[in-house]
Chains A and B, each alone.
Chain A
C-alpha cells in the first residue's frame, strides 16, 4: 500500500478512498434523510449555520474521495460519470438530492398521509393535509358543469360512442384504409356534430351554426364530384349559397323540432361546463381550425397576389392579438356586426373565435411544411400533368403534413390549454367551475386542492398528447 495523499484520490488506494468516501456520502444523505423524515437533528449540537451546511460539506468531501477515474468498478464509474464529474457537478448533485429528500415528506403528507378522503361534508377536513372530500363532493360539477345530474348519462354515452367511433382507424383492414381520411375528415365530424346536437343538447343549440355545418359538409361531399377546373369557384360560392338556401327554407321552428329526440329534455349551453365542455370545445375547434388553416396556408403560398395578401393579412392579424381580446370581440363586438334577429349561441361564438385564432397558427405551421418540400416535388407533379388541386391533395399535402406533425400537435396542445379562457364570455369549464366552487361559502379555503386537481388532469391530457404526437412523428418519419 502506497502513501495516502488525501488531496489527490488515486487508484492505488482505491478501497481506502472508496470506503471512506462512500461512508461520508451516505452519512450526509442519512443526516438529511433523518432530518426531513423523522425530524431528528443529529448535528443539532453544532452552531446553526454549521449544522445547516454540514451535510453538504461532508457529502462534498465524500464525493471528492470517490472521484477516481477508471477505477475498474462498474457501478463507481457509472456514478462518477453521471453525477460526479467535477466539484461543481458534485455540489449540484448533492443539492438536488437534498431538495428531493427535504420536499418528499411535506408533499407526501399533504397529498396522502394527512389528507382526508372520507365523508361528504367539510367537517371531516380538519387535518393539515389536502381535503380531497371537497373534490369528491364537487366532482360532478367539475366534470359536467351545471348539466342536470339526471341527464349526465347523455354526455357519458356520447363520449363513449365517439371514442369508439374514433378508434375505428386502429381496427380498419387494409381494404378500408384508403377510406379512413374521408371518414375522419367528413363523416366522423358529422356524426360527432349529430351526437352533440341531438343528444347532449337535445334542443336548439347551434341555430345558424347548424345550417353552416350542414352546408359545409354537403358541399364538401358534392365537391368530390366537381371537375378540378371549377373547384375553386365551387368552394367559394356553393357553401354560402347552400347556407342561405337552408336558412330561408328550413325555419327555426322546424329545426328545433328536428333537434328534439323523444323523451330528452333540452339542456341550454349555459348549463354545460366542466371537463366535458373542455373536450367539446377542443374537439370542435380542432376539427374546424385544421381545414381553415390549410386553406390559408395554401393561400399564402398562392401565385395570385391578391389571394396571397388577403391570407397574409388574415394570418398576421390573428397571430398578433391575444386570444382573450378575440373572445372579448366575440362577446361584445360580434353581435353588433350581425342582423338583430340573427342569434348565435355564445358557445358557438366561442368555438368560431377560437377556431379562427388557432387556424392562423395552424396555417403558419403548414406553410413551414410546404416550404420545406423540395421544388422537385412540385415540378414532378406538374410534369405528370396534375392540376393545382390534384397536385396538392395527392403529392404535396401528404408529404408536407407528415413533416409538420410536431408543430400541429403543439398547436393543438396550445388549443387545449387555451380553453379555460372561455371564462371571458361566461362559460365555465373546469377551471371556471373551480373558481365558482372556491367562492361557495360552505367550502371556503380549498382553492389549493381544486387547482392541484385540475393541474393533474390537464397535465395528464397534455403529456399524453405530446407523447402521442412524438410516436406519430416516429411512425411517419420517412427517410428522404
Chain B
C-alpha cells in the first residue's frame, strides 16, 4: 500500500470541513437548548398525546401515546399513497398507450391531458379540488345515491362496508390460489423449455383466482353482507350518514389530484418505453409467425418494461413524497399529525422533524431497493 499525500489531502480536507460544519451545528444546538431549558430525548413518544385526529385507520383518541399518533399519520400517508399509485398507474398506462394511438382525436386528447395537468403545480391542483370543486357537492340531505348504495356529498364519500364472517378462510383461499398460480407458472415454463409444450396459464390462473374463493363461500362458511350508509338527522339542519365506510373529502381531493398529476408522468414513461422498442423487433417477431398478441406479450412488453420501470419507480417515490402536501388541506397525514400538531404540543423540533424525515427516507430507500432488485432481475443479462 502506498498512500499518496496527493490522494489523502483533498479527502482529509473535505472530511474536516464536513465535521466542522456538523460540529458547529451540534454545538449551537446544545447551547440553544440549554439556554431555553429544552432537553433532548425521545421519551415523549410514550406520553399521552391528548389530541384527536379526525380520520384514522387504527383506533386512536387523545388518551393514546404520541407514538400511536405517529402510526396514525404514517398509515394515513401510506393509505393515500397506495390509492394514488393504483389510480395513477391505471390512468397513466391508458393515457400513455392512447398517446400512441393512430386515432388523431385520441392521441391529441391524451396529449392535451398530459400537457395540461403536468404544467400546473400539484399544490394548486389540490387546493382547486378541495376548496373549489368538492365544495360544489351537495349537502348530505340533498345527495343523490350512486347505484343506490353510495353517496358523494360535501362531507365526503359514503360507501357500503363489507361485513365478513370467517374472513380468515376467504383470505387463506386467496393465498392458496396465488401460491398455486405461481407453482403452475413455474411448471408451465419448465414444460415449455424442456418439451416445447404450451399451457394456457392465463386461463388456469383466472379460473383458480375465482374458483377457490368461490369454494370458500360455498363450503368454507364464509358469508358476506353489506352495511349501507343511512341518512341520520343530528339537528334540524345537520345531517350525517351512519354505517358503511366514509372517506373524508380531504382524502378524495388528495388522492384525486395526486393520481391525476402523477399519471401524466407515468404516461410519458410508458410512451417512451413503447416507442423505445425498435420497429425491427416487431417486424422480426411477426416474420417468425407470432400473432399480434404474441408480439405484444412476448417481444414488445418484456423489452418495454425494462425501459418503463425505473422512471416509473421514481414517479411512485415522488407521489409518496408529494402526499405530504396533505398538510395544506388538513388531511391527517404524517406531516400534519406528527410534524404539525405533535410538534406544536411538545416543542421537540429536532426530534420530531428528524423522525419524520427519517421515515420518508426509509420509505423511499426501501421502495428503491425493492425496485432496483426487480429491475436487475428483468434486466438484459449481458455477458
For B361, list chain A residues within 8 Å (CB): 317, 320-321
Chain A nearest Cβ from B349, distance in angstroms: 4
User: Is the Cβ of B327 less than 8 Å from the Cβ of A431?
Assistant: no
Which residues A416-434 have CB closer than 8 A to chain B?
416-421, 423-424, 431, 434
> Which of the listed residues A81, A82, A413 has the most CB atoms from chain B within 10 Å of its own CB?
A82
Q: Which of A232, A236, A237, A336 sits near B32, CB closer than 8 Å? A: A336
**B20-32 interface bits toward A, Cβ cutoff 8 Å, 1 = contact, 0 = none:** 0000011011011
From B59-67, B116-124, B285-293, B373-381, the one touching the partner chain is B116-124
CB-CB contacts below 8 Å: A326-346 with B: 328-329, 332-333, 335-340
Main secondary structure of the interface of A (DSSP, over half): helix
Give every chain A residue within 8 A of B29 (Cβ-Cβ): 336-337
**Given A336-B29, A459-B120: A324 and B106 interface contact (C-beta under 8 Å):** no
Residues in B neighbouring A340, C-beta threshold 8 A: 31-32, 35
A323 vs B122: C-alpha distance in the bound complex, in angstroms? Answer: 13
CB distance from A427 to the nearest CB of B (A): 13
Judge whether A251 is part of the interface by a CB distance below 8 angstroms.
no
Contacts of A421 in B (CB 8 A): 123, 325
Contacts of A459 in B (CB 8 A): 116, 119-120
Kindly identify, within residues 29 to 76 of chain B, every residue whose CB is under 8 Å from any CB belonging to chain A.
Answer: 29, 31-33, 35
Contacts of B25 in A (CB 8 A): 337-338
Give the contact stretch, choosing among B11-19, B139-147, B190-198: B11-19
A89 to B101 CA separation, bound complex (whole angstroms): 9
Residue of chain A at shortest CB distance from B18: A310
Supposing A321-B357, A329-B357, A336-B28 touch, asked if A233 and B103 sit within 8 A by C-beta, the answer is no
Residue among B120, B135, B335 with the most chain A CB within 10 A? B120
> For residue A448, which residues in chain B have a CB less than 8 angstroms away from its CB?
128, 132-133
Which chain A residues numbered 207 to 237 have a C-beta less than 8 Å away from chain B? Answer: 232-233, 236-237
- Using an 8 Å CB-CB cutoff, how does the interface string of B295-335 with A read, 1 for contact, 0 for none? 00000000000000000000000000110110110000001
A304 at interface, CB cutoff 8 A: yes
Contact of B106 among A96, A323, A336, A418 (CB under 8 A): A96
A424 to B26, CA, bound (A): 25
Residues of B within 8 A of A82 (CB): 102-105
A451:B106 contact, CB within 8 angstroms? no
B167 within 8 A of A: no
Q: How far is the CA of A82 from the CA of B103 in the complex (A)?
A: 5
- Contact of B350 (CB < 8 Å), options: A85, A232, A304, A333: A333
Cα distance, A92 to B115, chains bound together (Å): 21
- The answer on a CB contact under 8 Å between A435 and B127 is yes
What residue of chain A has the Cβ atom nearest to residue B109's Cβ?
Answer: A96
- Output the least CB separation between B235 and chain A (Å): 23
User: Considering the complex, which residues of chain B in the window 70-118 have a beta carbon less than 8 Å from any beta carbon of chain A?
Assistant: 101-106, 109, 115-116, 118
For the complex, give the distance between the alpha carbons of A451 and B325 in Å.
Answer: 17
Partner of B353, one of A332, A452, A466: A332
A329 to chain B, nearest CB (A): 5
CB distance from A85 to the nearest CB of B (A): 6
**Is there an interface contact between A236 and B104, defined as CB atoms closer than 8 Å?**
no
Which chain B residue has the least Cβ–Cβ distance from A317?
A: B361
B341 within 8 A of partner (CB): no
**A81 touching B102 by the CB < 8 A rule?**
yes
Interface residue B131 (Cβ < 8 Å from any Cβ of A): yes
Given A89-B103, A325-B353, A462-B120, residue A306 in contact with residue B14 (CB < 8 A): yes
Determine whether A411 belongs to the interface, using a CB cutoff of 8 Å to chain B. no
Chain A residues near B365: list those with CB within 8 A.
Answer: 316, 320
A463 touches B115 (CB 8 A): yes
Least CB separation from A455: chain B residue:
B120
Bound-complex Cα distance A454 to B339 (A) = 28
* Shortest Cβ gap from A326 to chain B (Å): 8
**Cβ-based interface call for B382 (8 A):** no
Check B10–A333 contact: CB distance below 8 A: no
Provide the bound-state CA to CA distance between A438 and B328, in Å. 15
**List of B residues within 8 angstroms of A158 by Cβ:** none
Q: Does B278 have its Cβ within 8 Å of any Cβ on chain A? A: no
- Minimum CB–CB distance from B8 to chain A (whole Å) comes to 9
Cβ contact within 8 Å between A324 and B131: no
For A, the interface residue count at a CB cutoff of 8 angstroms equals 62
Contact of B102 among A85, A236, A306 (CB under 8 A): A85
CB proximity to B under 8 Å, residues A372-408: none
B106 closest partner in A (C-beta): A92
Does B149 have its Cβ within 8 Å of any Cβ on chain A?
no
Tell whether, in the assembled complex, residue B360 and residue A462 are in contact, meaning their CB atoms are under 8 Å apart. no
Query: Which residue on A lies nearest to B77, using beta carbons?
Result: A322
Contacting pair A417 B121 (CB below 8 A): yes
In the bound complex, residues from chain B placing their C-beta under 8 Å from that of A81 are 102
Contact among A97, A325, A454 for B335, CB-based, below 8 A: A325
Are A463's CB and B349's CB within 8 A? no
Are A310's CB and B14's CB within 8 A? yes
Contact for A322 among B105, B349, B360, CB less than 8 A: B360
Docked CA distance A329–B360 (Å): 14
Assess the A420–B121 pair: CB atoms within 8 A: yes
Cβ-based interface call for B364 (8 A): yes
CB within 8 A of A336: which of B124, B321, B349?
A: B349
User: In the bound complex, do residue A83 and residue B353 qualify as a contact, i.e. CB atoms below 8 Å apart?
Assistant: no
A316 and B372 alpha carbons, distance in the complex (Å): 15
Interface set, chain A 47-90, CB cutoff 8 A to B:
81-83, 85, 89
Beta-carbon contact of A339 and B343 below 8 Å: no
Contacts A333-B349, A336-B350; A93 near B103 (Cβ below 8 A)? yes
Closest chain A residue, CB of each to CB of B351: A333
A328 and B106: CB pair below 8 A?
A: no
Query: Is A138 part of the binding interface, using a Cβ–Cβ cutoff of 8 Å?
Result: no
Give the Cβ gap from A290 to chain B, nearest Cβ, in Å.
21
- Bound CA span A395–B178, Å: 55
Residues from chain A with Cβ under 8 Å of B31 in the complex: 339-340
Residue of A nearest to B347 (CB): A332
**Bound CA–CA A424/B356 (angstroms):** 15
Q: Does A312 contact B (CB under 8 A)?
A: no
B123 to chain A, nearest CB (A): 4
Contact A451 B103 (CB under 8 A): no
Instruction: Determine if B335 and A328 form an interchain contact, defined as CB atoms under 8 angstroms apart.
Output: yes
Contact of A418 among B26, B121, B131 (CB under 8 A): B121
Asked, given contacts A93-B103, A421-B325, A451-B128, whether A325 binds B339 with beta carbons under 8 Å apart, the answer is yes
User: Within the assembled complex, what's the spacing in Å between the Cα atoms of A282 and B18?
Assistant: 28
Tell me if B123 and A431 are in contact (CB < 8 A): yes
Tell whether, in the assembled complex, residue A451 and residue B127 are in contact, meaning their CB atoms are under 8 Å apart: yes
Q: A25-55, CB under 8 A of B: which get 1 and which 0?
A: 0000000000000000000000000000000
Q: Are B122 and A417 in contact (CB under 8 A)?
A: yes
B11 with A306: CB separation less than 8 A: yes
Q: What 0/1 pattern do residues 428 to 463 of A give for CB contact below 8 A with B?
A: 000100110010000000011001101100110011
Interface core residue of A85, A305, A335, A421 (most chain B CB under 10 Å):
A421
> When the two chains form the complex, which single residue of B131, B133, B353 contacts A329, counting CB atoms closer than 8 Å?
B353
Q: A89-B101, A454-B124, A458-B120 are in contact. List 12 more A-B contacts (CB 8 A).
A: A93-B106, A96-B106, A240-B17, A307-B10, A307-B14, A317-B361, A320-B364, A333-B349, A335-B32, A431-B124, A451-B127, A462-B118
Which A-B residue pairs are the 9 nearest by beta carbons? A462-B119, A82-B104, A322-B321, A320-B361, A337-B25, A322-B324, A417-B121, A320-B364, A448-B132
Pairs A–B under 8 Å by Cβ, sample size 26: A82-B105, A85-B103, A89-B102, A93-B105, A96-B109, A97-B105, A232-B10, A233-B9, A236-B13, A310-B14, A320-B365, A332-B349, A339-B28, A417-B122, A424-B327, A431-B127, A434-B127, A447-B127, A447-B131, A448-B128, A448-B132, A448-B133, A451-B128, A451-B132, A458-B119, A462-B119
